[in-house]
Structure 1
Amino acid sequence: MAENLLTLLIKTYREATESLPAILPSPAKNAPMAPAYSISSQMGSMAPAELEYEVSSSKGYTSSSLVATEMTDWDYLFGDWGMTVYGSSRIDAAANFSGTAALPPIIGDANELTPVLHSPTQESDNVYLLLESAYNQEDEPSVDEEMYGKLQDLCSEAKLLLDQADDKSHKIGKAEMDLHSALERIKESEDSYLQEVSQRKEIEKTFARQRLQIEEMRRRLCTLSDELQDSKKYNLMLEQRITQIKSAAKDHVEEITEYFIKQSCEESKKCQKIEMDLLSTLQRVKEVESLLQNEKAQREYMEEKIARQRTEIEETKRQRDKLYYDFQDAKEQRIRLEQVDASEETNRRRKAERDMLSYLQRIKDLENQQIRQLKKQETMEETMARQKEEIQATKRKLHEIHGKHMAEIKSAVKVHEEKDANSKQLFQELQVKYDKLLHERDTAVIEAKELRQKNKQSASVTNETPYTGFSFVELQKTTNGFDAEFKISEDGFASIYKGFIRNTNVAIKLFHPRSLKGQAKFYQEVAVLSRVRHPNLVTLMGACPDDFALVYEFLPNGSLEDWLSCKKHMPPLTWKVRTRIIGEICSALAFIHSHKPYPIVHGDLNLGNILLDANFVSKVGDLGICHLLRQPDLPTTNLQHHPTKNHKGTLCCMDNGEFKSARELMLWSDVNSFGIIILRLLTGRSKQQIGEIVEEAMEKGNLHSIIDASAGDWPLMQANQMAQLGLRCITLSWGRQPNLAGEVWVVIEQLMKAACLPTGPSRFASPSDAPPPSHFICPIFQEVMSDPHMAADGFTYEAEAIRGWLDAADTSPMTNLRLANRTLTPNKALRSAILEWQQQQNRR
């Protein structure tokens, strides 16, 4: 039985060894060392054939009966392989040496073949052995203690090699980290370069802005010189000279001088900032150079490390060759000892082979890892070389850009110095002009004082005329501080606001206080309008002489121009309303033209100056440019002699004949404007060539085609009479113009009767030859009092007016202060004086 087992064991061993390749002869001592990958490939070809791991289910060995034990590297190399056989809870297919190495089967006592599977994988270093007859066997003593000791030495050396490989991988990882840090530094240097480029672009933009500012300064200088020339041209006009001197001398000159000073300061600051930027750029270049030197030192240090690693790898190869020689010796000893104890020697041989194969596999992995590291090192060196070249190129570009930038800065500084010198020269010229303007301003101030003296003289006349005084605080309160929401309109001399004063809606005309011409117009308007009262003239309710403000009655329906053009979806005016408005305008013009002792001319009559009250009663407004046609005022008064605002003339000193001609000219302008208004109300057209259009239509008998259809069915006969009247009014011959108070009023009165409208022949007649004294006028009604009563504030009012006032308020209409009491005392002395004055007027 024992002989059969021995023969079977020898037969099995021969079959297993026949599959192994022939053992190579040991290399000579002086022979060149083979590369690691060739030795590992030769040793890998010595692996036995792949066996399939099968466990018969009929023998009762299942996966649940096996015990899995995880072994460390130390147990794998130095563990006791003679202990109880290890099993695995996993049943996998057998693989080759890279996955699973199958060993020859072991013959048990019952002549059953039980395969032994050694499966070291990448996931774990578990060793799985399955021996059916190994459960009850005990460890047997070692046959060859010397061979066992050598194997232990080999295992210890293999462990040392593994530790060295780990150290090498750690060093390589550190080198990669150093390389990454170097790349980050290079990126930072690139970012700094990009920032410098952006800063240079910003500097160029600032230079461009400075150029634009200098051009703007030149344009302003040109405009300033033009303004100065204009001021010289219009030096004859006192008001324009004063305004231009104030605006040019105080505003423009001071602003320009301050602007030049600020610009010079800003340019010096910008030059200093550019120098600081250049210094910071040079500092950054130095920092980049220091970083490059540090990176060069680190690269040299890495090269030294790589050289040391190469020496260590060569030492590892020599140790591997030594192990290979020892392995060959051990294999020869194994062959000699096979005949002594076949079973025990086979087990030990298999263990040694497994250890050797695993060790060779690890050596192969180390060689592959070394090859990869060498490739990484080569790529790293190439990358560092490219980066070094890029850094050198970047450095060259920085030097070139720095040189160009410095040249541009020097040229810009030179240009700015030249411009600074030019600006200083211009400043000196402006200073000379400023001194000249100051001299002109002094002369203008003297002339202004003379003009104010004349205005005061005219104001003395105004003080004799009756009007209600308003305080500026009262006007501010009713307009909310002259807020823009209350503003109705504005022109070059005054602004008109809407307000509510003393229970009455009013229109406040506020003249510009700095305009001398506006002040003159204020005194002139007060002097004229306070003398006349007519139902179809806008009533002047009062004034604030200290602040040059006039208070008029408020007319809510706007101007006749708005209604004729149907602005804001206004309904068109009927022909009857238009006929009545024409009669009212004629009445107002006839009234001011027949004023005694001197007639009054409007001078700017148009549809925009004719306002409508709540009952569509028309009232002629904007009498601010009207004039009393008295001979002493003509040499110094600008009189309007054309219906448009753009044509003005000055009447010089003239004799009586010339004065009469001038007066006729001024009256003719109002009649001409009245004729244009008639034709516009008739046709609804604009004033451009209105006379030619109507005259042509009448010659062709086609007047009905141009009559405004929105006014309704205008009777053709009345329309013809109205058109003929309008054409007569706009004639260019002075002597052929009709008289407003005579033939014109007769025609209009007939037309109004035909339209069933009320007429009043005395509407344009002057109520008296001389205006009533101011103390006869009621401050509230602005009429001659018939029953004067004195209130607690000391002022005298019409009894009906003051009682109505006290019913709504307990303050004074004149001072706006609270009254001590509401007692009214009849002023009999004043009443007697008023009655006596009225009797004298009736006698005249």
Structure 2
Amino acid sequence: MSSNEGGLDKAKLFSSKELEIATDQYNENRILGCGGQGVVYKGMLFDGRIVAVKKSKTVNEGYLEQFINEIFILSQIDHRNIVKLLGCCLETEVPLLVYEFIPNGTLSHLIHDQNEEYPRSWDIRLRIATEIASAISYLHSSASIPIYHRDIKSSNILLDEKFRAKVSDFGTSRSIGIDQTHLTTQVLGTFGYLDPEYFQSSQFTEKSDVYSFGVVIVELLTGKRAISTFGSQEKRGLVSYFMSSMEENHLLDIVDAEIGKDGQKDEVVAVAQLAKRCLNLDGRYRPTMKEVAMELERLRTGQGDYIHTDQIKQAEVVVRKSAENWDFTSFSTEHYSNCSITSTSEPESALESESESESESESESDVHPHIC
């Protein structure tokens, strides 16, 4: 950590006593969420700032590595749509991480909770998609070193007081060399969001983040979870459902009713076509995140070229196989020696990425088993 040029020195070092006081001795009433890595507490610093403190639940080498990795990554990032790491405490066996407090929960809550007070208009969704794309594009192209996030999903997108997006959870993110095109790693991710090419090859590329972002766009369009029940009681991947609906020219039949009445169908169709490109099974034909961010910004500002609803055609992208072949709900790990399935239950939280519970209708362990 000390060899990280310009990294750790940007993060404030908190004392363990200071954080104990801030969280009222880690009082259960201060818990904002519990995730696979740790428990997130709401705290108040001496200067009155409200913060989020992540504390590891157990001490093991894996958690230690992810906590340190998050410090390493976030200390090099400065973007308005990426959660800020304010500092850490190194006096404990596993570092305590201190983040800015993000008050309005996660994008997953916004999309899937039955809360009438949440703003869910098409304009809000398009703005959020644009902000997420801007943040990921920054990681890939503009950060001091290129960074692959590796776990883009709606539960890792936080929303601030104005419902602006903040990308979070960098525990499994990796920085790469300028001349590198991919990382060869043990497969790690979340069912429903995982790039099929990465699942097969163990090679994670920048286009793997693009695929995951494509799933988030489809969530915003349809209001459905990445793994959902469609019609019958059988769970099915949202991607295959979306792709088949696009190919059959039934897109407008699956769009969330809350945005279907906003009268901006041409914009919706244009974003759906962009999502389809992001979800191409062949990563070479997916756009870069920089291209995605630029296209979404053009649509937001009314400068994009719309595909009119009476001209919806099968997307121009090359698809090697039917999306049905990549329905992860039917995947088994017995043929993939480099994978193992574990279930994690991600908590409800208003501030930090791993703080998301899908318990509204189905638990995270049932719906999004992590591959690790």
TM-score strictly above 0.5: yes
Q: Distance in 1 between matches of 2:76 and 2:279?
A: 29
Per-residue CA deviation, residues 107-158 of structure 1 (Å, 9 max, x unaligned), is xxxxxxxxxxxxxxxxxxxxxxxxxxxxxxxxxxxxxxxxxxxxxxxxxxxx
SS in 2 for 1:579: helix
Matched, 1:726 2:278: no
The residue aligned with 2:28 is: 484
Does residue 1:667 correspond to 2:206, yes or no?
Answer: yes
Paired residues of 1:604 and 1:640 also in contact (CA < 8 A):
no
Distance in 2 (CA, whole Å) between partners of 1:490 and 1:645 is 22
- Kept after mapping to 2: 8 A contact 1:639/1:666: no
Q: Secondary structure at the match of 1:594?
A: helix
Q: Would you say 1:697 and 2:245 are equivalent positions? A: yes
CA 1:569/1:624 → structure 2, altered by over 3 Å: closer, same or farther?
A: same
Q: TM-score, structure 1 length as denominator? A: 0.32
Aligned partner of 2:49 among 504, 507, 511: 504
Indicate whether 1:593 and 2:107 are aligned: no
Q: Distance in 1 between matches of 2:146 and 2:175?
A: 6
Deviation string, structure 1 residues 239-282 (Cα, Å, up to 9, x no partner): xxxxxxxxxxxxxxxxxxxxxxxxxxxxxxxxxxxxxxxxxxxx
Determine the C-alpha separation between the residues in 2 that align with 1:662 and 1:701: 34
Q: Give 1:461's aligned amino acid.
A: N
Match of 1:745 in 2: 293
Residue 736 (structure 1) aligned to one of 285, 303, 310? 285
CA deviations on 1:149-208 (whole Å, 9 max, x unpaired) are: xxxxxxxxxxxxxxxxxxxxxxxxxxxxxxxxxxxxxxxxxxxxxxxxxxxxxxxxxxxx
Q: Secondary structure at the match of 1:542?
A: strand
- Structure showing greater Rg: 1
| Shift in CA distance, 645/695, structure 1 to aligned 2, threshold 3 Å | closer
Query: 1:623 is aligned with what amino acid?
Result: F
In the aligned structure 2, how far is the partner of 1:517 from the partner of 1:632? 28
Tell me the alpha carbon deviations over residues 436-483 of structure 1, each in whole angstroms, 9 at most, x when there is no partner: xxxxxxxxxxxxxxxxxxxxxx45437754111111111111111001
CA drift of 1:605 comes to 0.8
Partner of 2:78: 533
Distance in 2 (CA, whole Å) between partners of 1:493 and 1:642 is 14
Counterpart of 2:98 in structure 1: which amino acid? V
Partner of 2:347: none
Q: 1:622 to 1:698 in 2, by over 3 A?
A: same
Offset at residue 698 of structure 1 (A): 3.1
Separation in 2, partners of 1:517, 1:645: 24
Give the Cα–Cα distance (whole angstroms) in 2 for the partners of residues 698 and 645 of structure 1.
Answer: 18
Sort the Cα spacing of 1:709 and 1:735 in 2 relative to 1 into closer, same or farther, 3 A: same
- When residues 528 and 734 of structure 1 are mapped into structure 2, their CA distance, relative to the original with a 3 A threshold, is same
Hey, what does 1:514 align to over in structure 2? 59
In structure 1, runs of 5+ residues without a counterpart are 1-457, 652-660, 757-844
Q: Is the 8 A contact 1:488 1:496 kept in 2?
A: yes
Structure 1 position 527, deviation (Å) = 1.0
1:554 matched to 2:101 = yes
Pair 618,596 (structure 1): closer, same or farther in 2 beyond 3 Å: closer
How far residue 524 of structure 1 moved from its aligned partner, in angstroms, is: 1.1
C-alpha distance in 2, partners of 1:641/1:669? 12
Measured in 2, the distance between the counterparts of 1:542 and 1:464 equals 9
Report what 1:754 is aligned to.
Answer: 302
Asked if 2 retains the 8 angstrom alpha-carbon contact of 1:465 and 1:527, the reply is no
- For residues 617 and 533 of structure 1, the distance between their equivalents in structure 2, rounded to whole angstroms, comes to 16
Cα 1:459–1:484 change in 2 (3 A) is farther
| Alignment match, 1:573 | 120
Aligned-partner residue type, residue 208 of structure 2? S
Cross-structure match for 1:50: none
Q: Given that residues 108 and 154 in structure 2 are in contact (C-alpha distance below 8 angstroms), is that contact kept between their aligned partners in structure 1?
A: yes
Query: CA offset at residue 644 of structure 1?
Result: 3.5
Q: Which residue of 2 aligns with 1:656?
A: none
SS at structure 2 position matched to 1:754: coil
Distance 1:474 1:637 in 2: 40
Contact 1:489/1:495, CA 8 A, preserved across alignment = yes
Distance in 2 separating the partners of 1:494 and 1:630: 30
Equivalence map 1:344-423=2 (5 Å): none
> 2:102, 2:159 within 8 Å by CA — same for their partners in 1?
yes
Is residue 718–residue 751 contact of structure 1 (8 Å, CA) maintained in 2? Answer: yes
Deviation at 1:568, TM superposition (A): 5.2
Q: In structure 2, what is the Cα distance between the partners aligned to 1:529 and 1:568? A: 32
CA contact (8 A) 1:459 1:523 kept: no
Equivalence map 1:118-197=2 (5 Å): none
Q: Is the 8 A contact 2:12 2:88 kept in 1?
A: yes
Question: Does the CA contact (< 8 Å) of 2:84 and 2:100 recur in 1?
Answer: yes
Aligned to 1:685: 224
Pairs within 5 Å for 1:9-48: none
Per-residue CA shift, 1:355-406, capped at 9, x if unaligned? Answer: xxxxxxxxxxxxxxxxxxxxxxxxxxxxxxxxxxxxxxxxxxxxxxxxxxxx
Conserved 8 A contact 2:184-2:202: no
Supply the AA of the counterpart residue of 1:622. D
Which AA in structure 1 matches 2:288? N
Q: Which amino acid aligns with 1:475?
A: L
- Match of 1:668, as an amino acid? K
Q: What's the secondary structure of 2:301's corresponding residue?
A: helix
Asked if 2 retains the 8 angstrom alpha-carbon contact of 1:575 and 1:714, the reply is no
Q: CA separation in 1, counterparts of 2:100 and 2:28?
A: 20
1:509–1:567 CA distance, 2 compared to 1 (3 A): farther
Displacement after TM superposition at 1:616 (Å): 0.7
TM superposition shift of 1:543: 0.9
**Normalized against structure 2, the TM-score is what?**
0.69
CA distance in 2, matches of 1:553, 1:459: 23
Higher helix share: 1
Task: Indicate conservation of the 8 Å contact 1:604/1:643, yes or no.
Answer: yes
User: Is the contact made by 1:467 and 1:541 (CA closer than 8 Å) also made in structure 2?
Assistant: yes
| Pairwise CA distance, 1:662 | 7.3
Residues 640 and 666, structure 1, Cα contact 8 Å, conserved in 2: no
Over residues 579-625 of structure 1, what are the superposed CA-to-partner deviations in whole Å (9 max), with x where a residue is unaligned? 00000000000000114563111111111110100011111011121
Once residues 16 and 123 of structure 2 are traced to their aligned partners in structure 1, the CA distance between those partners, rounded to angstroms, is 43
**Contact map agreement 1:572 1:710 (CA 8 A) in 2:** no
Q: Percent identity?
A: 31
Contact between 1:537 and 1:621, CA under 8 Å: does it hold in 2?
A: yes
Partner of 1:621: 168
Distance change in 2, residues 1:745/1:591 (3 Å):
same
Answer whether contact 2:33 2:40 (CA < 8 A) is retained: yes
Query: Cα RMSD (Å) of the superposition?
Result: 3.2
- What SS does the corresponding residue of 2:4 show, helix, strand or coil? helix
Give the number of the structure whose residues are more often strand, by fraction.
Answer: 2
Q: CA deviation at 1:643?
A: 4.8
Secondary structure of 1:623's match? coil
Q: How many residues align?
A: 287
- Kindly provide the amino acid, as one letter, of the partner of residue 600 in structure 1: I
Structure 2: which 5+ residue stretches go unaligned? Answer: 228-236, 305-372
Deviations 1:220-257 (A, max 9, x none): xxxxxxxxxxxxxxxxxxxxxxxxxxxxxxxxxxxxxx
C-alpha change, 1:720 and 1:633, in structure 2 (3 Å) is: closer
CA distance in 1, matches of 2:74, 2:110: 26
Alpha carbons of structure 1 residues 519 and 691: separation in structure 2 relative to 1, 3 Å: closer
Query: Match for residue 403 of structure 1?
Result: none
1:329-348 superposed matches below 5 A: none
**Bigger relative contact order, structure 1 or 2 (CA pairs below 8 A, ≥6 apart):** 2
